[in-house]
Every structure is written in structure tokens, then in C-alpha cells.
Structure 1
Amino acid sequence: MQALLSISKKIDALNELIGQAVGWALLVAVLICSGNALVRYGFNNSSNGWLEIQWYLFAAVFLLGAPYTLRRNEHVRIDVITGRFSQRTQVWIDLFGFLLFLLPVTALILYLGVPYAWHSIQNQEMSSNAGGLIVWPAKLLIPVGFLLLLLQGFSEIIKRIGFLRGLLEASAFEKQVVTPEDEIAAIKEANQIQ
């Protein structure tokens, strides 16, 4: 079980790193969106390529951010119902949900997404819009995102089993509540280091 917990930590670290990096993609998407709007309305000029890069970036944020969200336990839940149960029962509900819903759905989308992306890569698929971009990078995000989500699902299952066996504290998978004061203190600390 210790080997599985070690693998779980590595999966968590990978998705944490990717999730933080993908936050920058959101900033870039907002800047491109704003710049495109200024150019379009200010100079009556634009390109479909700029619109498409925006949705590529938003797709990256969504697909690569989902495993990060699951890792931080920030995903959509039924806390209104499960909050009434003991922590142990909540963990069993999580395990049931991961095994019955998350893993099968992510595996199915991964199974269907790989040939979908591969076909686009082989054909060097281009957008049908004038001035559009190549399409395969966006389609490749689907299997990559769902592979990372599948891995994170396995990590969450390992952590829940570790908790049930008494090998892990619940803090390893509980939602990390950060107050605004904590965020401000972290920013101040980061600025002092630099």
C-alpha cells in the first residue's frame, strides 16, 4: 500500500504542477480576448485565428484544470447530502462515485478521444474558417486531459483506501480551505522572497 501511496503523491504533484501552469493559459486567453476586442471594435479588423486560439486556451484550462480541481477536492459534489454523514461514510461515497462514475466515464472518453485526436494529427486537420488554425492541438487536449483525470481518479481512490485502512489522514484529500487573509499572507511572503 505504501508503494501505491507513493504513486498517488507523484500523480498529485504532476496535476498540481500542470494545474498551476494552466492558470497562466487563462491569463493569456483573457489578454488575447481583450486585445482582439479592442482591435475589432477600434480598428474594424480581426482574424478567426485569434478567436480560435482563445477557445484552444479555454479548452486547455478546462481539460487540464479538471484533474487539478479533483486533486484539490474542489469538484462538484453533493455536500448538502453527504455532509450529514460521518467522515468514513463520506469516504465510502467518494469511492463509490469514483469507481462507478468517474473511472468508467473518463476511460470511455479516453478510449474514444485517442482515435479522434490521432485522426486529426494524421490529417494535419485545419480549421474550416478563413484564417483559422490547425485543429489537432485542441483535439489532442481531450485524451491528454482525460488521461490526467483518470490518473487523478486513481490517486483519489488510493488516498481514500489509505484513509480507510488507517494509513493516511483525511487532510490528504480534504478540501483545502484558504481564507483571503491566508492568500494575502502568501503573496506577501512570496514578494519578500524575491
Structure 2
Amino acid sequence: MVAGPRGPSKNGDRRVTALQRISAAIDRLNDRIGSAIQWLALVMVVIGAFNAIARYADQYTGMSLSSNAYLDLQWYFFSLIFLMGSAYGLNHDYHVRVDVMYARLGRRARAWIDLTGSVLFLVPFAVLMFWISWGWVVRSWTILETSADPGGLPRYPIKSVVLVSFLLLLLQALSQIVKNAAILAEPVRGSARADGTGSPTETV
């Protein structure tokens, strides 16, 4: 008796499901972070406006309302938005693409491009930047680095965000790999079952 073709194993299905659940958890994490940090843009504008007005007021009142700490807060918040929002932007495809052909390609072709780019470029880049930044951040914490400007803020907390941001970017890159691999694993339009029976399936 000749055995028929075997379908996917239950263990394989469980592994795929587990990876998809992890991917969804990473997406939710970065979505929550992205939703939270978007309010920092408003706070950054308010602080900048206050500091600008305070500098003019200082000339007429003789009071020291402005401070270098406000300037530091502005670029701290900008850094948080840029760094912590990178993974959120990747998840929602908000990053600018410079190619003109990508949007004209089919779903599977785009998945191949995204998967290849994530594996060959994005994951190595995130790992490399995390490794390079590690010593830089550790040194900042060792000396408790602060701003060189009078009244400035400590530098070591914001430098730690660099490590966190590249870790989140790496996790999101892995999530994108799982999602694009799932797209490529879907049945192709016009393909029939391996045993030659059944009707052709359709691509989602």
C-alpha cells in the first residue's frame, strides 16, 4: 500500500501558531508605545513655546524663567519620539520608501522583498547598533554623565533609550519576518492539492 501525501504535522502547526502569537504580542507592545509617545510631540511644542516666551520675559522682568533644562527636555522628547517610534513606524509601514516599483508589485512579491530586507539588512543593523551603543551607554552611566550646559539635565537616562529603541526595532523586525513568511506560506492562486484532488485555491 502506498501512503498518501502527509499534511503539516501538528507539532509544526503549534510552532507556527506560537510564532504568530509572539509576533502579535510584539506588535501590540510597539503599538502601545507608539500611541503613548505621540503625545510627547505636543508636550515638546508647549515646552519650546514656553522657553521662547520666558527668554523674552527675562529681559523685561529680570526674572530667570527660562532654563537650559527646558532646551534639554525638548531634544529629549524629540529623541524619544524618533527612537521609540521607529518600531511602531515599521509595524505600520510608515517609513519612507525610495523605490517606485514596490507599490506596483503583488502581495507575495512585496512579502519577499520585506522578508529579504529584514533578514539581510534590518536585523543585522539593529543587532550591530545595539552592540555598538552598549559600551557608550555603560560609560555614560559609569560617570553619571550630565549636560555641559549650566542647569542642564543628566545625559545617561536618554542615552539608555538608544539601547531600548534598537531592541524594540529588532523585535519588530522579527515580527515582520514571521508575518511575511506567513504570507509566503499561503496557497498560490491556481495551485491544486498535492494529491491532485480538489479545486484550485485562491490567494488572499
TM-score, length of structure 1 as denominator length: 0.82
Residue type of the partner of 1:124? L
Q: Which moved more, 1:41-50 or 1:104-113?
A: 41-50
Find the partner of 2:122 among 94, 102, 125: 102
Secondary structure of the equivalent of 1:121?
helix
Residue type of the partner of 1:22? I
Stretches of structure 1 lacking an aligned partner (at least 5 in a row) = 168-194
Alpha-carbon distance, 1:63 to partner:
0.2
Confirm or deny that 1:35 pairs with 2:80. Answer: no
Corresponding residue for 1:11? 26
Alignment of 1:37-116 (within 5 A): 37-44=52-59, 45=64, 46-78=66-98, 80-116=100-136
Q: How far apart in 2 are the matches of 1:147 and 1:15?
A: 11
Alpha-carbon distance, 1:79 to partner:
5.0
Alignment of 1:119-138 (within 5 A): 119-138=139-158
Alpha-carbon distance, 1:83 to partner:
2.1
Identity of aligned residues (%): 42
Q: Which has the higher contact order (CA 8 A, sep 6+)?
A: 1
Q: Which moved more, 1:95-104 or 1:150-159?
A: 95-104
Residue type of the partner of 1:52? D
Corresponding residue for 1:21? 36
Corresponding residue for 1:118? 138
Q: Give per-residue Cα distances to partners, 1:16-40, cap 9 Å, x unaligned.
A: 0000111122111111011111111
Alpha-carbon distance, 1:84 to partner:
2.6
Alpha-carbon distance, 1:109 to partner:
0.6
Alignment of 1:169-188 (within 5 A): none
Structure (1/2) with the larger helix percentage:
1
Corresponding residue for 2:4? none
Q: Give per-residue Cα distances to partners, 1:70-115, cap 9 Å, x unaligned.
A: 1111112245221232221111011111112111111111111122
Q: How far apart in 2 are the matches of 1:100 and 1:76?
A: 19
Alignment of 1:148-163 (within 5 A): 148-163=168-183
Rg bigger for which structure? 2
Confirm or deny that 1:146 pairs with 2:166. Answer: yes
Secondary structure of the equivalent of 1:80?
coil
Alpha-carbon distance, 1:137 to partner:
1.2
Q: Give per-residue Cα distances to partners, 1:115-171, cap 9 Å, x unaligned.
A: 21122112111111111110001111111111101100100110000111129xxxx
Residue type of the partner of 2:152? G
Q: How far apart in 1 are the matches of 2:69 and 2:98?
A: 40
Q: Runs of 4 or more off by more than 3 Å in structure 1? A: none
RMSD (Å), alpha carbons: 1.4
